[in-house]
A and B are shown apart, each in its own frame.
Chain A
Amino acid sequence: MTQYLLSVVTPSAGAEPPSPEQLEAIMARVGQLQTDMRTAGVWVFSGGLEAPSTATVLRPSGDEVLLADGPFAEGKEYLGGFTVVDVPDLDAALDWGRRTVAAIGLPIEVRPFSW
């Protein structure tokens, strides 16, 4: 079995954020998908992240660690949330990825863990 990270590729700007009703529907579908993943025995962990503006970056600097406000990179997209699944191969991971796309309506990056 291999673990895969399913990342939710969330647009930073330009795209209209979902309305409260839409968000509720999305969360209901995500909840159902997570139940399905648990039932199938593939779910490891998942979570949604706060906006990148809430991030703090820690950088090594000699013996010290410096703090910086904001995300490590400003991009057109950011990591909005993720799920880790444990499945036999990429085809199985892609199947769960497809279902995640259907639930959230955003692009999903599927990437294997190396350890």
Chain B
Amino acid sequence: MSPLEEVFREVHGRAVAVLARQLGDLDLAEEAVAEAYAAAAATWPDRGVPPSPAGWVITTARNRAVDRLRREAVGAAKLAEGARLAGEPEVVEVGAVRDDQLRLLFTCCHPALALQARVALTLRLVGGLTTAEIARAFLVPEPTMAARITRAKHKIARARIPYRVPEDADLPQRLASVLAVVHLVGTEAHSPATGDAGVRDDLLADAVRLARLLVELVPDEPETRGLLALLLLTAARRPARVDDGGLVPLDRQDRTRWDRALVAEGQALVRACLRVGRPGPYQVQAAIAAVHADAPTWAATDWSQVVALYDQLPPTPVVLLNRAVAVAELDSPSVGLALVDRLELDASPVLHAVRADLLRRLGRVEEARAAYDAALARTRNTAEQADLRRRRAALPGGPPG
């Protein structure tokens, strides 16, 4: 990314948010911001980046929008709109910008939009990613992603999804939808479902950036800090997560390679959440990640603490699978295996990989080999496949796979 592109990405969410309110139209806001970027790209390299790039972009974009409304004015209403906009104050207060950003986030993450559409819109409008970048991140053709974004914006306009912060009564549920979108971006970045990357660094950085924005915008909700902590503690493992093109699972990661600064920031956030004493699923998951970050090795992990934390989460199959892994360490592989075999999660490659590891430790080599094969058949991520082949080849006896 060029320095100019970095500035654009940084200011994009703020600029679109402010203009969407002033113009009352997301599309018009986006187009005006794009025009302002074009103007910036033409002048900034010579004259330098202005002291407030966001302010410059917002003002320029608004002027362009006013010009356009005047040019295209077919009736008095549009002319009046242009005149009203021209009278908007030049300097937008920081607090007002935050409100606009919140409005934009809640609109992009409205529950009347499909989850995939929410993710795409949030990355596009709040995160400032291009449609091509989002398409690459989720491994869909660019026209498909463009159609998804267009359809979502069309629904916002035609069904009149309101551009505002929800009322207090609706806030917890609506905030949960925003958190889920940012969490999904982080999950897709850390464990891509398909493709050849072990970790998508750009996307992980985007998830952390969105989570930081959420903490800034909704500081009183501990779940926003919990989510940021979870993403930071996950990102901290990044340097140890990929090795020779293969994924390295947590149990075999070289923990000296973890990013200590990210660990420290994540753990500080977890401690701050504990002090508030209003736990939620993201805070608990962050606390689990913090227990792992405390342990010098997999074997030295405080497994009773990990199991106790998993017990606080809603017992989804994935949570129960991770809990079974911890029980296998705390108690024994056979107890863990019994828990795993009770789960109905046949489509999950992780379940079969966990089974394979437990069977291997119990000396049931042939069953372990079959379980690795089952895991391999269920993942489309080549880095994950490479790791599974390594583990299968390391089984005693028998030909390497």
- Interface bracket on A: under 10
Decide: A112 and B161 in contact? CB cutoff 8 A.
Answer: no
Chain A residues 56-115 with CB under 8 Å of chain B are 88-91, 94, 111-112, 114
Query: Taking the nearest CB of chain B, how far is it from the CB of A49, in angstroms?
Result: 24
Interface set, chain A 26-82, CB cutoff 8 A to B: none
Closest to A87 in B: B160
Determine whether A22 belongs to the interface, using a CB cutoff of 8 Å to chain B. no
CB of A44, distance to nearest CB on chain B (Å) = 16
Q: Are A114 and B162 in contact (CB under 8 A)?
A: no
Identify which of B112, B160, B170 contacts A2 (C-beta below 8 A).
Answer: B160
Q: Which residue of A lies closest to B158 (CB)?
A: A112
Inter-subunit contact B159/A112 (CB<8 Å): yes
- Shortest Cβ distance from residue A32 to the other chain B in the assembled complex, whole angstroms: 21
- Residues of the A chain whose Cβ atoms lie less than 8 Å from the Cβ of B166: 91
- Give every chain A residue within 8 A of B158 (Cβ-Cβ): 112, 114
Q: Name the distance in Å between A7's Cβ and chain B's nearest Cβ.
A: 14
- Contact indicator per residue, chain B 124-168, by CB within 8 Å of chain A (1) or not (0): 000000000000000000000000000000000011111000100
Are the C-beta atoms of B160 and A94 separated by less than 8 Å?
no
Looking at B158, B160, B161, B170, which has the most chain A CB atoms within 10 Å of its CB?
Answer: B160
Q: Judging by beta carbons under 8 Å apart, are B162 and A91 in contact?
A: yes
Q: Do B160 and A89 touch (CB < 8 A)? A: yes
Taking CB atoms, residues of chain B closer than 8 Å to A90 are: 110, 112, 159-162
Q: Which B residues are in CB contact (< 8 Å) with A88?
A: 160, 162
| Complex CA distance for A114 and B162, rounded to whole angstroms | 17
Least CB distance, B114 to chain A, in whole angstroms: 15
What are the residues of chain B within 8 A of A2 when measuring CB–CB?
A: 160
- Cβ–Cβ contact B162 & A89, under 8 A: yes
A114 CA / B112 CA spacing, docked (Å): 18
Complex interface: chain A residues within 8 A of B162 (CB): 88-91
Contact residues in B for A112 (Cβ distance below 8 Å): 158-160
Closest to A92 in B: B162
Give Cα A3 to B43, complex, Å.
47
Across the interface, which residues of B come within 8 angstroms of A89, CB to CB? 160-162
In the assembled complex, how far is the CB of residue A98 from the closest CB belonging to chain B, in whole angstroms? 11
Shortest distance from the beta carbon of A95 to any chain B beta carbon, whole Å: 9
Identify the closest chain B residue to A94 (Cβ): B112
With both chains docked as a complex, state the minimum distance between the C-beta of B41 and any C-beta of chain A, in angstroms. 37
Which A residues lie within 8 Å of B170 (CB)?
Answer: 91
Give min CB distance, B174 to chain A, whole Å: 10
Chain B contacts of A111 at CB under 8 A? Answer: 159
Q: How far is the CA of A114 from the CA of B160 in the complex (A)?
A: 11
Enumerate chain B residues within 8 angstroms of A114, measured Cβ to Cβ. Answer: 158
219-253 of chain B: CB within 8 A of chain A: none
Q: Closest CB-CB distance, B124 to chain A, in whole Å?
A: 20
In chain B between 153 and 197, which residues have their CB closer than 8 angstroms to a CB of chain A? 158-162, 166, 170
Listed residue (A90, A111, A112, A114) with the most chain B CB atoms within 10 angstroms of its CB: A90
Instruction: Kindly provide the distance from the CB of A85 to the nearest chain B CB, expressed in whole angstroms.
Output: 13
A94 to B161, CA, bound (A): 10
Hey, which chain A residues are within 8 Å of B112, CB to CB?
90, 94
Determine the distance from Cα of A2 to Cα of B161 in the docked complex, in whole angstroms: 11
Query: Contacts of B110 on A, CB cut-off 8 Å?
Result: 90
Q: Which residue of A lies closest to B111 (CB)?
A: A94
CA A94 – CA B170 in complex, angstroms?
12
Distance of A10 from chain B, by nearest CB (Å)? 22
Bound CA span A89–B164, Å: 11
How far is A94 from B162 in the complex, measured between Cα atoms in Å?
12
Q: How many Å lie between the Cα of A68 and that of B166 in the bound state?
A: 48
8 additional A-B pairs beyond A89-B161, A90-B161, A114-B158, beta carbons within 8 Å, are: A88-B162, A89-B160, A90-B110, A90-B112, A90-B162, A91-B162, A91-B166, A112-B159
Q: List 20 A-B contacts (CB under 8 A).
A: A2-B160, A88-B160, A88-B162, A89-B160, A89-B161, A89-B162, A90-B110, A90-B112, A90-B159, A90-B160, A90-B162, A91-B161, A91-B162, A91-B166, A91-B170, A94-B112, A112-B158, A112-B159, A112-B160, A114-B158
Smallest CB-CB A-B distances: 7 pairs = A89-B162, A89-B160, A112-B159, A90-B161, A90-B159, A90-B160, A2-B160
